[in-house]
Structure 1
């Protein structure tokens, strides 16, 4: 038996079985599924699988976070499911059926920059280290920098410029290669095209502003007799490289379609590459330069204007939601352009603080839920990951699950972003996010950035605990006894909650459920009711923690902390809300016997669906759940379950 055999079987069942899988692959930490019907994925059941650390949908893919052991998990999943894995590119291609044009454009941008990230991160660390060596006066060296005081470190500093220059000055080579690779063109042509944008024969982009037009016309032009082309390099320029890369791809596709295969090896590369190089220097480069400069100028102006504090606060707060949508990939291009135009960027420091804030909110959850060993397997590594610049485990594994920590992190990140923007903190490069991000910051901004880091840790941590305590933005995480005064809602060992029948009908044991997910207790312990009428009442005093958009299921939390799921019918999610009428909304407080929902029993049955309704205590590991009625007809005034806090 494989290490993950049970978990892979449970995951296969939870995502809707083999027939619901269009494609599957994996990346460094996640299983990536393209599902034929994403609605069939049972997220509550998936979340309960021990090796699953979170899940989310992005770029048309249903992604399940496994962690560093994902390759082992993937191999066992393929064996269990019989589904042949596909390449990441094939999975992404299949996923595009679920994307709109904007999402597709963002996906393309992300796929261009993702292969470049390792180099960009290493380059950022190198440049950050060089900042410390050559730009920070050291008191213990009588005010000299390390480079000024040490021949060895001066040599190290000079040597490190070699990879630093290769990564950032020659970034267009990586971009044109990545575009060719991503879009199926000839990769070596992408590399050659990139080199022609940064060749030493060209006037370096960093020297253009210091060179007069007359000097450029005299020394830096190609003269074709009836027209001239400036010999301008595009070092570190993003948009010119992207425009040239896309032109190369589409020209190659065009000529491959019309040039005979016998001579395609000769003429396709020639007719694709040469016109692209000419267009890049004659048209695309100048246009792209102007576009990139305009974008970076607008962003820089916003962050250096008298309203910079507002811009910084908004960007700091909204960066985390951008990560969810995938739009955060656009900031890489903007950051690179800002560095090319101004020698530094004011966006990257705020991104680092956003990473730190997400980790701080998870740290508060670790503190609040201390002793929850299962959750700590996700939460503690998530804190470390976020503070090293990777926030997906923190956001999708913890913060979005509870909602209020995510909002607390947004607020803390916004305040920290506002603060550092007021003091005009800038980064000299793009590097590792989170705490190591300080290495990319200008040395003169270190102190202010450290204060910003403290804000990004303290504010989310305090707000997370506060929101949890007062119930703000908190739908499903009740406060423990030690956290609140005696007169507030509490959970305590020995606390008992009685569940009254939410629906009139025949109560039967949970093992008689017609859905094996419920019958086998995978979701928790409880009973099932075959409804005799289509009215759902609150089984106790509490709060609606979850209301599905399809209205077929509702989650409630009692004042004692018992979490209950009421699932009206079997597979009724496919009705998409038809025949269901909700009288409440998520987050509402309810009293026992209050009418929550009405549903048309006859219409649901006529549509071919069972109306048998499981009533499940989903946090059954925290409560001892005992049925009070085994098999009988009940009304909404009768107790059917008792849950005692362990």
Structure 2
């Protein structure tokens, strides 16, 4: 008998039995169930299982936090329960039965941006490192940067831009590939479509405003502007979906004997034409409108109110999955303004959640069993991954989650009121300071300190009173 057998039996019983499981898979730390009837899952009894660190529902999936041993436990569970293993993609498809229209829309955005996150993180770190060596006057009495006194670092600074440009300027290639991958169509066609949006023969998107004359494709009876869409998010998403739906339709109507020739040609060529005549300009205008509204709201006299609301509400957005929408807004702000004032608040929210868990480690310092969850959760949270902290500790007790939200709110107000801007996204938590523009790093460091101290102290205060618990219950969290 395996050490996980008893826990697997308990989980199967409290999940509603084998007949209630439509699909089950796992990720790095969690079991992901698609349930035929989610109401049959007894959350209280599941969370009482010794191996379980917490539960939550997201994107139509009932997720059970197990920890690093989830892969071994998953194998034992599926064998004991007699259920078939399911891929993550199959589980996502099955989960749609439990999702409304908005949830499906958010899930689509998540599916597009999630595969891009590793590249965005790398790009953020690289641009942050270039900030440090290229823009901070740290040498010769604060008059010169590292690249101004060292040829090696000057060369490294120039070389690293090769990667940074590939990730952020050519982002549409990744987006159109991700859309094709998600829709089950031909990924290479998505890549080719993305390249046509950022081709060197096009006028760079960053040079449009200052261009004296925009080159055109002249067809005699009509002309099309040769404008690139470097770093543009919405035009790439729209073009990617048009290509995917057109390819899927063609595969239904074109005979298999000629589909290899006909489908790629009649899917790609019309999509590229539509992308440069309709989708690109419209998507650009939509993106510009969204970025203008967000930036104007954050830099207005009432920007601190927006910051307070966003800082307080971001963690609950993570629970619902709505936070994936901010990726598109951040990237749009970067393309339009050369930076984003939204991402700093996200990094501060990560830190605040980790600080609340750190406080719980202090409060429950004699609880060795809980430390197995709380210590790794704090570390991952400070590095930008909040789910273990939120679902494993903060939501379990309730009041640490509220303390983190309040600390995040205070830090966000400081960040926005001081005009803090990030050059890139993807680097959250404490390393997030590397993505901040050099002139704002000191202010952001102060906001980080607030995000560490305020949640830590509030969690201790709430633990000694009923104030935090009662306030959290009024928000309907538990």
Shift of 1:69: 2.7
| Residue equivalent to 1:394 | 389
| Residue equivalent to 1:330 | 325
| Residue equivalent to 2:367 | 372
| Residue equivalent to 2:191 | 191
Higher mean displacement: 103-112 or 396-405: 396-405
Aligned partners of 1:59, 1:179: CA distance in 2, in Å? 18
Higher mean displacement: 277-286 or 85-94: 85-94
* TM-score relative to the length of structure 2: 0.97
DSSP-derived class of the 2:467 partner? coil
Alpha-carbon displacement from aligned partner over 1:212-268 (angstroms, at most 9, x marks no partner): 3xx11xxx1100111100111001000000000010011111111111111111111
Conserved in 1, the CA contact under 8 Å of 2:139 and 2:146? Answer: no
DSSP-derived class of the 1:57 partner? strand
Conserved in 2, the CA contact under 8 Å of 1:402 and 1:475? Answer: no
Shift of 1:476: 12
DSSP-derived class of the 2:23 partner? strand
Shift of 1:141: 6.4
Aligned partners of 2:426, 2:469: CA distance in 1, in Å? 35
DSSP-derived class of the 2:469 partner? coil
The answer on 1:38 being equivalent to 2:38 is: yes
Aligned partners of 1:111, 1:243: CA distance in 2, in Å? 15
Shift of 1:142: 5.2
Conserved in 2, the CA contact under 8 Å of 1:351 and 1:433? Answer: yes
| Residue equivalent to 1:294 | 289
Conserved in 2, the CA contact under 8 Å of 1:8 and 1:80? Answer: yes
Alpha-carbon displacement from aligned partner over 1:422-445 (angstroms, at most 9, x marks no partner): 110000001321100000000111
Aligned partners of 2:83, 2:68: CA distance in 1, in Å? 22
The answer on 1:430 being equivalent to 2:425 is: yes
| Residue equivalent to 2:267 | 272
The answer on 1:318 being equivalent to 2:313 is: yes
Aligned runs of 1:540-579 on 2, under 5 Å?
none
Higher mean displacement: 463-472 or 327-336: 463-472
* TM-score relative to the length of structure 1: 0.72
| Residue equivalent to 1:179 | 179
Aligned partners of 1:428, 1:175: CA distance in 2, in Å? 20
Shift of 1:455: 0.6
The aligned length equals: 477
Aligned partners of 2:267, 2:15: CA distance in 1, in Å? 45
| Residue equivalent to 1:350 | 345
Aligned partners of 2:465, 2:3: CA distance in 1, in Å? 42
Aligned partners of 1:200, 1:6: CA distance in 2, in Å? 61
Conserved in 1, the CA contact under 8 Å of 2:172 and 2:229? Answer: yes
Bigger share in strand: 1
Equivalent of 1:240 in 216, 235, 239: 235
Equivalent of 2:379 in 367, 384, 403: 384
Structure 1, unmatched stretches of 5+, are 478-544, 550-585, 588-646
Aligned runs of 1:603-642 on 2, under 5 Å?
none
Shift of 1:88: 0.9
Aligned partners of 2:255, 2:208: CA distance in 1, in Å? 43
Bigger share in helix: 2
Alpha-carbon displacement from aligned partner over 1:380-406 (angstroms, at most 9, x marks no partner): 111111111111111111111221111
Q: CA separation of 1:264/1:88 partners in 2, compared to 1, >3 Å: closer, same or farther?
A: same
Shift of 1:104: 0.5
DSSP-derived class of the 2:272 partner? helix
Conserved in 2, the CA contact under 8 Å of 1:141 and 1:149? Answer: no
Structure 2, unmatched stretches of 5+, are none
Aligned partners of 1:326, 1:307: CA distance in 2, in Å? 27
